[in-house]
Amino acid sequence: MSTSSPRKDPADPRLRITVRRGDITVQDTDAIVNAANSALAGGGGVDGAIHAAAGPELSAACRELRRTVLPRGLPVGQAVATTGGRLPARWVIHTVGPNRHAGQTDPALLASCFTSSLDVAAELGAHSVAFPAVSAGIFGWDVEEVARIAVDAVRGWRAAPQTGEATPAQATPRQDDVGIAEVRFVLFGAAEESAFRRAAGE
């Protein structure tokens, strides 16, 4: 497993960006982000691995969200939190990435996956969040593009004002004291890790 030391982001000295290769299901962050499907039903890749490791508590929480606040599913680019079940992380934040094969090619939709997830993490009071390479792989986005969009989105997250009303899958407006100190990108393969290191300037 390859890791990098946490480094403060030049755009926000309070925020550290970490890039490492490994298994997102074993991260000791307060929250991990799941590259989910709209139905929150589990699937393959990162989604399946998280559901398998978290156990039945996670599936039950997802079913309850579908029954109550998300009867039509979670929209692309938005995020919602559940318990972490049996994971080391306290929370799982589910976000639905755009599928390039389905014609979802707007970079803003992909960026929203990261910023919406951070909004939710801030509302929860999380201090550290681990992300996978959302929309890379079977959703058809090039990992270099995903890495660039992801890092730019995280770096711009605090500075950008939030407008509009919060939805059930979003959080309250950002505050200076939201407390997120580390964003960790956890990548499965060497190519993904290298792409995110380049995007982060390592």
Report pLDDT digits (tens) over 106-146: 999 999 999 999 999 999 999 999 999 999 988 999 999 99
Residue 159 is predicted with a pLDDT of: 56
Report yes or no on 76 lying in a domain: yes
Report yes or no on 1 lying in a domain: no
Report yes or no on 2 lying in a domain: no
Percent of the chain with pLDDT over 70: 84
| Residue 151 belongs to domain spanning | 7-200
Strand locations in the chain (E): 7-9, 12-21, 31-36, 79-83, 91-96, 128-131, 182-187
Q: Which of 9, 30, 47, 119 is catalytic?
A: 47
Report yes or no on 61 lying in a domain: yes
Q: Rounded to an integer, what distance in angstroms lies between the CA atom of residue 187 and that of residue 49?
A: 13
Q: What pTM did the predictor assign?
A: 0.86
Torsion region of 45: left, alpha or beta (phi above 0 gives left; psi -120 to 50 gives alpha): left
Q: Rounded to an integer, what distance in angstroms lies between the CA atom of residue 79 and that of residue 56?
A: 20
Residue 152 is predicted with a pLDDT of: 97
Instruction: Identify the residue with better confidence: 167 or 140.
Output: 140
Report yes or no on 39 lying in a domain: yes
Percent of the chain with pLDDT over 90: 79
Report yes or no on 47 lying in a domain: yes
- pLDDT-derived band at 202, boundaries 50, 70, 90: confident
- In DSSP terms, which residues pair with 92 in a beta bridge? 32, 82
Number of domains in the chain: 1
| C-alpha 137, offset from chain centre | 15
Report yes or no on 137 lying in a domain: yes
Q: Rounded to an integer, what distance in angstroms lies between the CA atom of residue 82 and that of residue 62?
A: 7
What is the mean predicted confidence (pLDDT) over 42-62? Answer: 96
Report yes or no on 177 lying in a domain: yes
CATH number for the domain that contains residue 193: 3.40.220.10
Check pLDDT > 90 for residue 183: yes
47 is catalytic: yes
Count of C-beta atoms within a 10 Å radius of residue 95: 28
Q: Are 162 and 119 in contact, with CB atoms under 8 Å apart?
A: yes
Q: Rounded to an integer, what distance in angstroms lies between the CA atom of residue 168 and that of residue 181?
A: 24
